[in-house]
Amino acid sequence: MISNDDLVVGDVFMFNAGMKLPADGVVLEAQDVKCTEADLTGEPDEFPKVRIDETNWEIAELSGVILAKSLCVNGSGKAICTSVGLNTAAGAISDNSSERKETDL
Nearest Cα residue to 25 out of 70, 86, 68:
68
3-state SS record for 11-34: CEEEEECCCECCCEEEEEEEEEEE
The ranges assigned to domains in the chain are 4-96
Q: What is the pLDDT of residue 55?
A: 79
91 exposure class (CB count in 10 Å sphere: 0-12, 13-18, 19+): middle
User: Candidates 3.20.20.70, 2.70.150.10, 3.40.190.10, 3.40.50.2300; correct CATH number of 4-96?
Assistant: 2.70.150.10
pLDDT by 10s per residue, the chain, length 105: 555 568 999 999 999 999 999 999 999 999 999 999 888 888 889 999 999 777 776 765 678 889 988 999 999 999 999 988 776 777 666 555 555 566 676
Q: Are 89 and 23 in contact (CB under 8 A)?
A: no
Q: What is the pLDDT of residue 35?
A: 95
